[in-house]
Amino acid sequence: MKHIFERKVYYSDTDAYGVVWHGAYLRWLEAGRVEFCELFGYTLPELTAQDIVLPVTNMNVRYKMSAKLNDVVIVETEVSKFNGLSVTFHQVIKSKETGKVCIDATFDVVAISAQTGKLYRRMPQVLAEIFEKEVGCLQPV
C-alpha cells in the first residue's frame, strides 16, 4: 500500500532563493510516515501509550529538483523493506504538474521503549504484522 498526499508550497516553505528549503521536505516526509501508520489505525499518541516510539536511525535523501513557491507536490510513502528489527520507508516527492521527482528518500526506523528509551530486539507485534504484510505485497522489480 502506498500513502499519497498533496501539499502546496507556501512562502514559509521557501528560502531566500525562492525554492523549497531543504528542511521543509523533511517535514513533509515525516508527515508521510506518520500518516502511513495512521492508515492502519496507529497514531503516535496511541503507540506511545503502548510504550512504542519510532525514531529514524538512518536517512538517505537525494535532492533531484527544487520545488518552488505555489507548486503543488505529491508525497508518496511505502514500506520497501522489513527485517523484523527495522522498517525501511521509501518516499518520493514529485511535482504534481510535471511528475518530475524532487526528492527520492529512504528512512530506516526502529522501535524503542517510550519509557526507557531502550531498543526493542524485535519490532512490536502490532507493527510487525503490518510491515510484514506490506513487504509481502511489494511487486518484484
Just list the catalytic residues: 15
Calculate the alpha carbon distances from 18 to 9, 21, 62, 111 in Å.
11, 9, 20, 37
CA–CA separation, 38 and 44 (whole Å): 8
Retrieve residue 114's grid coordinates. 517510550
| Among candidate residues 22, 35, 130, the one with its CA nearest the CA of residue 75 | 35
Measure the CA–CA gap between 63 and 69, rounded to whole angstroms: 17
In 3D, which of 26, 127, 30 has the Cα closest to residue 86?
Answer: 127
CA distance 50 to 89: 22
Q: Give kind and range of the element (H or E) at residue 7.
A: strand 3-8
